[in-house]
Structure formats: C-alpha cells, structure tokens
Structure 1
Amino acid sequence: MAALVPFPQSGLSATYSPWSNTLLVKAQGEVPGYLAGAFIKREDWVGGLRFSLRAFPLIFPENFPPPGPKKIDATLKVQIHLPLSWLNSKTVLFETAGAEYNVNIEYLLEGVGPVDSPKKSPSSNDEAGGQDHGGRIIGSVLTPIKVLLGAGGSYRISARVPIPESAALAPLPSVKISFNSEFIKLVDSSHVGDSIVWDVAWEKLPTGEGQNPQSVDVTTSIPHTEFGGLTNWTRIIQPYTVEFIVYEQK
C-alpha cells in the first residue's frame, strides 16, 4: 500500500495553463531510497484542491545496507477551469509524511488568476434576479472522468437533479453543463426521471497544439435555507476530460 512520502515544500509546485485549462502539479527532489514509484494523488476535499505525495515502501533483507536518497520527478495533470470565485484558486494543499503545505498556483498568463480570496458568489437564482441571500458557498471539484471520443461520435453525460426544498421562498437547485463551444457542441438534452441527460460531440476536432483534451464541467448547485431565510449553497463540479482519439482501421 502506498504511503505518504517525507518531502520539502521547496520541491513542490503548481502551475495553471488557461490555454489548455490544465493544472500541473509537480514534486521534484529527493526521497528516501527505501521508497519506490513515487506519485501524486488527488484527494477529495471540500473548498479547495488537495494533493498528496505517495510511494511504495521496499522490503530489504535483514542487515541490508540502507540505500541512499533517490531523485523523483512526479507530475499530475488536472483538467479544471480556474479561477473559481467560490473555490480557493490561489493555492493547493499538499500533504506529505512530514507536513501539509499550501503551495501557490502560478498562472501562466498575466491577468488570469484570482483577484481576492474566495468569496461568496451569487446563487443561480441570484444571477438572474440580482438578489443576495446573505449565505455562503461551499464548493468541491470531484476527480475528473476520462472520456475517449472519436470523430463523428457522441458521449452521453447524465446528472441527478436535486429535489427542491419544501419552503415556499426557497431558491431552486440547478444543474448546468459548460464547455468550450469552439470544440464541443451539445447534440441533444432531455430529462429522464430525476436526471438530466446531455449528448455532446465534437464541433471542431482538437488537433492543434494544447487543444487535446477538452474539458466539460457539470455544476450542481444545492440550496440549504436556514431559519430566517438565510441560504447557504453547496456547489459541486464534476469535470469530464474529453480526449480526441483516432480509431485504427482493420
């Protein structure tokens, strides 16, 4: 079983490319020689992006001389749209065997990045009516689902629509899909039971540098109305990493 690795903060980095909507997390440096296969794992965490550095301990014969440190260069690419107003888009939390570190996110394009700390953003109903319920946003980005999609094909995405609250003045929950319309198009959408279904396909094949894969996000916003009318929101993004592939002819 993979264990947490002791590692200094100086060897950790996170950079975001707005062209490919990719967060690149790296761990470069030395780890103890008794560890092998070091890798970065994304951890589920509400309110931000959390990662850990892990490796597999090696078992040596008794009286075997301890091996010296070994260099690693571990990377992890995460498809995500940043910054998000309700998610910590300035730093990622990185867990190691010795400590947890806040690592700053470097945005590769000047002018793209969070202006202030994450703050309360309007609800889906607020966006339409300009109202503010005075609540707060609790957000989470789930682990991306990888999709392989060829030219001429389509892929079906489904999401459950949350049940509305019974209070008369409670705002309604919402489920929305978003993508880069230059490359991806919506072929069809429908309601099936308590779920909404979208069929997506390629509008333009992403064959240029940095265009493949593309990202599709499904955002679910759930209101929680408290006594006195104050509304807090849970907002969850399920990303889909859609990669263009060419099938071999037989």
Structure 2
Amino acid sequence: MEMHMLGAMYAPSNRLTLMAMLNAVSLKMDHLTRMGGNFTTKSSGLGDLKISGLYKFFNKNNQVIHGRFGFSIPIGSIDEKDVTQASAPYETVLPYPMQLGSGTFDIDQALTYLLQGQLFSYGAQLSSTIRVGKNSREYAYGNQFRIANWAAMKLTDWFSISARIEQVWLGRISGEDPDLNPMMVITANTENSGGTLLNSGFGFNIYAPSGVFKNLRFGLEYGFPLHQSLKGVQLKRKQALTLGLQYSM
C-alpha cells in the first residue's frame, strides 16, 4: 500500500483551525491459489476527502488541549475491478481491502493533550472514526477507536527525534457486497475483518527556523506493530514508512 496525502490548514482565529485532506492511494495484492497458481490484483486512485475543525479549549503553562471534529466525503471508489484467476479474461469487483474509499460519510473526532517544554514534548490523543449507515454496495467498514501517546526531544534548533505507541481497535465489516463470493477468496469474507493492533513508531524532524527554507519541516517515521490480534484469517500488518513535508505561512 502506498498513500500520498495532500493537506491544507487555515486558522481564522487563535482557537479555531480548519483542515482538509485528500489522499491518492495505490494498492497491490499478491495471491496464491490452492492449486499453486498465483496472480496479482491492483487498484489506484483518490481516496475519501476529509474535512475537519480543530478547536483549542485550553492553552496555559505550556499545555494545550484541543478537540477535533470532522467528517469524510466518500469520493473514493468502492467499485474497483481487476482480472483474477477465477474471472479471467474478464474483470470482477475486488474485495474490501482493495477498494479506495469507504463509501460512507464517516465521522472523525479526537481529543488531544500536548505538553511542550524547551527540549521535551509529550502528547496523548483519543480518536475515533464512526461509520454512518451503509454504502451503495450494502456494507460498511467497522468503526475505529485509537489511543496514541508520543514524545519528542529537541536535540538542536533544527533537529528533533520522536517515539510513538498506539493502540487501535478495528470493528468488523457489517453487511456484505452482493457481488463478492466469500467462497472464492478469503478477503471477500466479512468474518475475516476487525481486531486490535498495538503499533509503534520512531522518527525524526528537520525544521528550518531561518533562511531560504524558513518554516519548512521534513519528517520521517518508521513504524511496526508490536502486537496484532486479528479476527478470522487476515493479512498481518508489517513495516510502515511515513515521510512528510510541511510548510507554514
């Protein structure tokens, strides 16, 4: 999986910040059949558009508490097709993990605490994604709940390191796509969805406080799961590499 995220933020006041984010997603899955054959399916395109507002409730003694409330507009495709060994030479609807969007208007909310010192900072966040109804293919992805903690240390005026740990609860898919046959492929069976994850991440940030690249920030994080408890038969998560480039005006 590869995802490119483009985001914009605008603050009409010191307390309120408006945000929008759009993803470009590229998915690829290798399959091995019971008879020893193999094939690959692919899908790519835009994901769902996320719009939210960030409101600062508290800002005192280097501590900040803010809440986020938003929603996603389901512009990502849930009709992706490709040729499989069973459907060749024709295309067929791909299973749930290969679709680009959710197809539902999802509610995103979070509560975040930040402690910022001269050299050390700490943050904690509670967040959730709630699905509203079912999509046009008669299913909805499971709700998600997250608890994240992270810490960062400033080594110089332009360089800092960070560490993160995150607990994730993933709900099962409700309903099912009538065009998918659970007997043909494991990923088309909604019983094989949901579970809990304990993720970690370690990274660094490079920030330009002055010069021609002033207010430009580059970040990199390497993440990997510490524990996974998945329901049914699923593909386990492996390593993730996140790179970010941010500019503030």
Same fold (TM over 0.5): no
- After TM superposition, the score normalised by the length of structure 1 is 0.26
Structure whose alpha-carbon radius of gyration is higher:
1
- After TM superposition, the score normalised by the length of structure 2 is 0.26
